Amino acid sequence: MAADLYARVVMSAGNHDGKPVRIGVDIGGTFTDFQILDSRSGQIRSFKVPTTPEDPSLGLMEGIHGAAARDGFRLDEVGYILHGTTIATNAVLENKLARGALVTTAGFEDVLEIGRHNRRDIYATWPRPVPALVPRSRRLGLRERMKADGRAEIEPGEADFEVIIARLAALKVDAVAISLLHAYANPAHEARLAARIAEALPGLAISCSSTVSPEIREYERTSTTVLNALLQPVVRFYLERLERRLAAEDFTPRLLIVQSNGGVCAPATAAAEPVRLLLSGPSGGAMAALGLSRALGEANVVAVDMGGTSYDVSVVREDRLEIVTQSEIERLPVRVPMIDIRTIGAGGGSIARVETGGGLRVGPESAGARPGPVCYGRGGTEPTVTDANLVLGRLDPAFFLGGKMALDLEGARAAIAGRIGTPLGLAVDAAAAGILRLTNTSLAAAIRVSLFEKGLDPRDFTLLSFGGAGSVHACAVAEELAIRRIVFPVDASTLSARGILEADIEHAFARSLIRRFDAAAGESLARMEAEMQAQAEAQLAADGIPPERRIFQLAIDLRYRGQAFELTVPCLDSGFEPEGIAAIAGRFHAQHEQRFSYCNPGDAVEMVTLRLAAKGLLPRPAAVENPVEAAGTPLGSRAVYFADRWGEAAIWRREAIDATVEITGPAMIEEAYTTIYLAPAWRLRRAAGGHLVADFEGEGG
């Protein structure tokens, strides 16, 4: 039976082809972050450059060259590049998708528009319809029919295929999604149609639902397949351009792309199934949070990653991340496994503005990397969260990015005064404080929802704060949620890249079968497991993973008979003998009670989908803690605006804090790529691994 998916095997071998350097890259909306591990010293160092939105690969190579010059390694010494990217996410959010068509069973061409009959805005007179990414004129019906049990009722003929091919050629599309009725039960018709289209229209990107999302629920399966098809040309273009750039510099590392489930895959896999990249960057932060929770002995952690454009919330509960099988982007359902991450448009670059009615609003619009906040001096005119932090003394204008980038304090003050203060009749300090107060409320609300929807209490969690902008907000957010402990990790600004650096290859497989979950289901489950296991073994073999580095884990979607939703329950080592079935059912009842506050052990349990996660462990030398020569004394002090007044706060460099030092707020702890604001009533110390831990010593909570 399967081993624990999260089991860690530390390899003593070096990197790809014996090369000593391994690089994790997280390309965000504002900055591109790097973590570089050199197996010769065992040290991990961070690096950061501005993102180049017009071509993210430019910033990637600029950062690698900069890190190589600083750290003294050569490009031919780099064995792996593990790359997190927002290219798929941004393409959806900005509606920069390929021109595509949908082929479905005749009579089901309108599935995308019919969707689900749930109304989100129940009081809206004219609710916004969910966007249909493929217009009706490019949705084609094929004469065929597959039954739910996988038996063919209507076999499509060659003439039926020719009609579809002729219409696709006339439409001049770049991609086609094929989602036929009940193809999850039998993909034969989809496979035949895809083969004929590929033969007749070479170069056309083709996505089949039986490959992308072989699960029940017609709308979700079709939506996922359409998204995948429309993303294929976009992601393929980026990856080909990146590989050409690497080749032009005779740079030959093994390139792996981060997926939404926290694992990595080959570029060819990413190009074929780009829908699995929608949470590529944020998943690295979640994986890093899991590792830190174990290293620090904090079983329950809510991890928050605040960069320039977004705020990502993930939850480690009882030493595990939750993997969800369905999420949304731009209200479109996406049915592939991904780490459960809640994202809101709140970052250092979030724009503050006064609305027509006189209310203050912050985000979700962002100034991005270019022009960026006003204080960057790159032509930005609208005040942002970063500008407010600078005006209130929480950032040092001479030490941003370790002193590499001077900030324009007077420009930030003028922008806040003119755009916020004057319209609201506030002094510039009060206007900046209002921006931060509203931002902190939004951040706390995102955490609260992430925990409450799982039946969890924030007071039972430690806050893990990272990302370049997160640590100046952490204390205020924690106090609003009555969280009494915060961890500020080493290299907080590039922690997502750290999680990416430690990623392994991972693939997900699924088979849907709706039937009663009882002892009689064991034979069917064992057969499905064997089929998926063979598929997973073949995939990992193609990835070059030897058998001893392969880990598998099964899970199953279960529900009470009559329910329209499922819970994913790990099978662990239970097996599918009668006692194993009973053990899995018991875990389902317990999980249902935890999530919904009730369970019905006497009711029939129904299985829906069996899932297999397959992980290939990459060789990874053990890292060592970077040496610290701590001075144990503050650098000085400066004026900082607290809740409603100015006062003096001690200024520390992070490298000056050793295990003998305890710091009581208010204080500012600065490092090259981020700043910690330690509010009054908080006490901070250095913990194992160099991480900083702050505890709230005030009243309440």
pLDDT tens across 498-515, in order? 999 989 999 999 999 999
CATH number of the domain where residue 84 is located: 3.30.420.40
Indicate whether 365 belongs to any domain.
Answer: no
Last residue of a domain, one of 199, 232, 265: 232
What's the pLDDT at 404?
A: 83
Indicate whether 546 belongs to any domain.
Answer: yes
Contacts 24+ apart (CB under 8 A), 184-188: 184/209, 184/210, 184/213, 184/214, 184/215, 184/216, 184/221, 184/511, 184/512, 185/146, 185/147, 185/148, 185/149, 185/150, 185/512, 186/146, 186/150, 186/151, 186/152, 187/211, 187/214, 188/146, 188/152
CA-only gyration radius of the chain, Å: 26
What's the pLDDT at 11?
A: 34
Q: Are 299 and 236 a contacting pair, CB within 8 Å?
A: no
* Amino acid identity, position 87: I
What's the pLDDT at 10?
A: 32
Indicate whether 650 belongs to any domain.
Answer: no
One domain, residues 59 and 116: no
SS3 percent helix, strand, coil of the chain, rounded to 5, is 35, 25, 35
User: In angstroms, rounded to a whole number, what is the distance separating the alpha carbons of residues 346 and 404?
Assistant: 25
Q: Which stretches of the chain score pLDDT less than 70?
A: 1-17, 119-120, 625-631, 700-701
One domain, residues 516 and 599: yes
Indicate whether 448 belongs to any domain.
Answer: no
Name every residue whose Cβ is closer than 8 Å to that of residue 207 and which is 6 or more positions away in sequence: 175, 176, 177, 178, 225, 226, 228, 229, 232
What's the pLDDT at 626?
A: 63
Give the residues across from 384 on adjacent strands. Answer: 351
Within 617-645, strands assigned E span 636-641
Shortest CA distance to 562 belongs to which of 516, 526, 523, 519? Answer: 516
Q: Are 86 and 231 a contacting pair, CB within 8 Å?
A: no
Structure tokens at 356: 């027509």
User: Helices (H) and strands (E) in the chain — how many of each?
Assistant: 17, 35
Structure tokens at 124: 């809206």
What's the pLDDT at 630?
A: 65
CATH number of the domain where residue 567 is located: 3.30.1490
What's the pLDDT at 16?
A: 54
N-to-C CA span, the chain: 44
Last residue of a domain, one of 591, 616, 641: 616
User: In angstroms, rounded to a whole number, what is the distance separating the alpha carbons of residues 223 and 668?
Assistant: 47
Please count the CA atoms within 13 angstroms of the CA of 546 that sit on its side-chain side: 3
Report which DSSP code applies to 150: S
- Characterize the bridge pairing of strands 301-306 and 311-317: antiparallel
One domain, residues 520 and 595: yes
**Alpha-carbon dihedral angle through residues 289, 364, 281, 22, given to the nearest 10 degrees:** -90
User: In angstroms, rounded to a whole number, what is the distance separating the alpha carbons of residues 443 and 440?
Assistant: 5
pTM (predicted TM-score): 0.84
The single residue listed with the structure tokens 């039998």 is 186
Indicate whether 657 belongs to any domain.
Answer: no
Structure tokens at 536: 């997973």
One domain, residues 76 and 185: no
Indicate whether 252 belongs to any domain.
Answer: yes
Range of the domain at 571: 505-616
Indicate whether 269 belongs to any domain.
Answer: yes
Number of domains in the chain: 3
What is the per-residue DSSP string for 561-607? TT-S--EEEE-TT--SSHHHHHHHHHHHHHHHHHHHS---TTSPEEE
One domain, residues 510 and 608: yes
User: In angstroms, rounded to a whole number, what is the distance separating the alpha carbons of residues 591 and 518?
Assistant: 18
Structure tokens at 101: 């068509």
181 backbone dihedrals φ, ψ, rounded to 5°: -60, 130
One domain, residues 522 and 588: yes
Within 196-271, strands assigned E span 205-208, 254-258, 264-265
